[in-house]
Structure 1
C-alpha cells in the first residue's frame, strides 16, 4: 500500500513535469543523495510470555520483559546490549551457600560485539557474546555464572526464503560445569534457522532446529545425557514498528525448576516487539 502511494505520487510528478517543461527547466537541479550515516543506532523493547533460551524456559514459564540497543558502523562492525528478566534458578550463584534469595539472578545481560558483511547475497557474521548475571556473586560464594561464547553464522536469501546456519562455541569455563566443581567444561551449539516471508503480506513463517553438544546448566536430563536437541515453529506479523509473534517450542531435555515445572518441555510462546 505504501509503495503504491509512492509510485502513484511519482507518476503524478513525472506527468506534471512533462506537461510544464518551462517550469521544469527553471527548477533548481536536485542535489546528490545524502550518503548513509557512518553509525546507526537501533533498539527493541519486547514482552514475551516465556523467555526460552535454546528451548529451555529461563522464567519458570512466566512472562519476561526484554530490550536491546545495537550500534552499527558502516564498515560492518557492531556492538549490542540485550537484556531480559529471568528466574533465580538460571544460575548456580545466589542461594548456593546462604539458603536465601540473596544474590539470585533476576536479569540476564548479553554483551555482544561482532562483524557482519554481505558478499554476493551471502551474509557472514562473527563475534563474541558474553552472558552476564548482575549481582549474583556474593562474598564467599564459590560458584560462577558469567561466561563467554564466540559465534559464527552464515545466511543466504533464496527469493522469499532466508536460511541461516550458526555455530556457538563456549570454551572451557567454570559456569558450564553442572556441579560447579572439578574440571571446567565447554559446549558447542549448532543451529539451523529458516524464515519464509509470505509474499505481499506482513507475515513471516519461521523454523528452527539445533543441538547442544556438551553439558548445559539447564538442559541435562535425569539420565545424565550430555546434549539435547531443541526446535520450534512459528509465525510473525509486522504492523508498523510492532511485530507480533507466536511459536511452538520443544526439546528432548528435562529440567525441573524449584517449583516443579519442567522448564524444557513443549509449549507455546507469544511475543510483542517494538523496534525503534
Structure 2
C-alpha cells in the first residue's frame, strides 16, 4: 500500500486564496515518485505455498516510477524450508514495467526476475506479467496473468520427493514453463480504517520438483485463495493485516513431494495447508 506524505501548513492554507488552490489543483505530476514498504509477516506464502517454513519473514521493497508510466523496483524476503533455493536464505526480486490508462482503469505490463542471492543460478527465473485494474463503485478489482517461459528453474529435475531427499536428479537440466492467472478484489469499510480483500489464483506448470527441490507449481496444477482485512493504524504509516490463505492441494496429491513439502522437511503435514497469516507493514 502506498502512503502519500502530506505537508501541513495550517496558517498558510487558512490564508490561501482561491487562485492558489486552483494552481495546486492543476500542478503537474512529479517527474519521479518513490514508494516502498517494510514489514513482518507470520508466514511468507507464495501462491499459497510457504516459502519460510511457516515461520516469520521480514520483507521489504521499493519502487521508482516515472510520470510516463515506466517503473522499476525491487522486493526481498528471507526464506527457509521449501527446498533449499540453491543454498540461498533470501529471495530478491527485480521488477520493471509500464502502466498506461485504459478506459477507466490501468493496464500494467512488466516482468519479475526472481533471484536467490548466494544460491545457484539455475534456481533464478524470469516471469513476464500483465494485469488490468479498475474500480466498480467502492470496489477495487484486478485481473492478472503471468507466464514464465521454459527455464531450468521451472523444470522437473526430480520426479518425486524421494529422489530429492537422496539428492539424485531424475532429469538434469530439464526445463518447463508456468502459467499463473489471478484475480483480486478489495473494498474499504467507511469510517473504520478497514479494507476487506480477497484473492484467487490458478497455477499450471511442471509437475515435480526443480533444482534443489523447489517448484513454482509443485503439483502441476492447483488453485490458491486468500481472504482477509487490513487496518490502517491512525496517525501512523502502519497497516495491520489478517488473512486466511489456502490451496486445493490435497495430502494425496502432494504425497510424492515429501519430505520436501512439509515444515522442517520431515515429511509430516504440508506447507500448503490453510493458515491464518498476520502482518504488520510500514509504507512510505
| TM-score, normalisation: structure 1 | 0.79
Three-state SS of the structure 2 residue aligned to 1:175 is helix
| Map of 1:122 onto structure 2 | 105
Q: 2:156 aligns with which of 158, 174, 178?
A: 178
Q: 1:38 aligns with which of 18, 22, 31?
A: 31
CA separation in 2, counterparts of 1:186 and 1:219? 10
Structure 1 pair 266/190, CA: closer, same or farther in 2 (3 Å)? same
Q: 5+ unaligned residues in a row in structure 2: which ranges?
A: 1-9, 158-170, 208-213, 255-260
Instruction: Report the CA distance between 1:178 and its aligned residue.
Output: 2.5
CA separation in 1, counterparts of 2:74 and 2:191? 33
**Conservation of the 8 A alpha-carbon contact between 1:128 and 1:151:** yes
1:48-87 equivalences in 2 (<5 Å) = 48-87=41-80
**Conservation of the 8 A alpha-carbon contact between 2:156 and 2:175:** no
- Larger-Rg structure: 1
Residue 249 (str. 1) matches residue 245 (str. 2): yes
Three-state SS of the structure 1 residue aligned to 2:52 is coil
CA separation in 2, counterparts of 1:211 and 1:30? 50
| Map of 1:236 onto structure 2 | 230
Give the number of the structure with larger relative contact order, counting CA–CA contacts within 8 Å between residues 6 or more apart. Answer: 2
Q: 2:140 aligns with which of 162, 165, 171?
A: 162
Deviations 1:56-112 (A, max 9, x none): 00011000000101100000100000000011534452xxxxxxxxxx120000100
Three-state SS of the structure 1 residue aligned to 2:82 is helix
| Map of 2:88 onto structure 1 | 105
Q: 1:148 aligns with which of 126, 129, 148?
A: 126
CA separation in 2, counterparts of 1:220 and 1:125? 24
**Conservation of the 8 A alpha-carbon contact between 1:176 and 1:215:** yes
Instruction: Report the CA distance between 1:118 and its aligned residue.
Output: 2.3
CA separation in 1, counterparts of 2:217 and 2:282? 34
Three-state SS of the structure 1 residue aligned to 2:29 is coil
Deviations 1:148-206 (A, max 9, x none): 00000001101210111110001000010131625410000000111111123211111
CA separation in 1, counterparts of 2:82 and 2:103? 44
CA separation in 2, counterparts of 1:208 and 1:13? 44
**Conservation of the 8 A alpha-carbon contact between 2:205 and 2:217:** no
